[in-house]
C-alpha cells in the first residue's frame, strides 16, 4: 500500500491566489481528516469526513477555506483567496472507522503564501 498520498509536497503562492491541496487516502479507509500544523498553534483539526460526508468542519478557520470529498479516493482542501497567515504544513490522514482508530498520515504539503 502506498499510504496516504498528498500533492503537491511544496507550494509557494502569492497572496490572493487560489490554492488547492490534494489527498488520496488509503484504499478501503472510510474516514479522512485534514490537519494544519504551525509553530504557533501546533496540529489543528480542520475538517473530517466519514464515507465522503463532511462530519465536522468547526476547525475550518474561515470561509476562505473549503474542503470536498467527491469520492472515496480523493479529497481537496482549497484556500481562496490565500493569505500569508495560511502558511503552514497541511496534513491529510485516513482511518478505518469502526475497526481501527489509528490514523495514517500523509507526508504533508508545505504551503508558503508570500
Partner 1 sequence: GESVGLHLPTLSVQEGDNSIINCAYSNSASDYFIWYKQESGKGPQFIIDIRSNMDKRQGQRVTVLLNKTVKHLSLQIAATQPGDSAVYFCAENKDTGNQFYFGTGTSLTVIP
> Which spans of this chain sit near partner 1 (rule: CB under 8 A)?
4, 31, 33, 35, 38-43, 45, 48, 50, 55-56, 91, 93, 95, 97, 101-108
CB of 107 to partner 1, least distance (A): 5
For 86, phi then psi, to 5°, come to -85, -10
CB of 50 to partner 1, least distance (A): 8
Tell the residue number behind the cell numbers 481537496, with chain if given. 76
Nearer to partner 1, 65 or 91 (CB): 91
CB of 39 to partner 1, least distance (A): 4
How many other CB atoms sit within 10 Å of the CB of residue 24? 18
Residue 74 bridge partners (DSSP): 71
In angstroms, the CA 32 to CA 54 distance is 9
Amino acid at each position: 500500500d502506498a499510504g496516504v498520498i498528498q500533492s503537491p509536497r511544496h507550494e509557494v503562492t502569492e497572496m490572493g491566489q487560489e490554492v488547492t491541496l490534494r489527498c488520496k487516502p488509503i484504499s478501503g479507509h472510510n474516514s479522512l481528516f485534514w490537519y494544519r500544523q504551525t509553530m504557533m498553534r501546533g496540529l489543528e483539526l480542520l475538517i473530517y469526513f466519514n464515507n465522503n460526508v463532511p462530519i465536522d468542519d468547526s476547525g475550518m478557520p474561515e470561509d476562505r477555506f473549503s474542503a470536498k470529498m467527491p469520492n472515496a479516493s480523493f479529497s481537496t482542501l482549497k484556500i481562496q483567496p490565500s493569505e500569508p497567515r495560511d502558511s503552514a504544513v497541511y496534513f491529510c490522514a485516513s482511518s478505518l472507522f469502526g475497526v481501527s482508530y489509528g490514523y495514517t498520515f500523509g507526508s504533508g504539503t508545505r504551503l508558503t503564501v508570500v
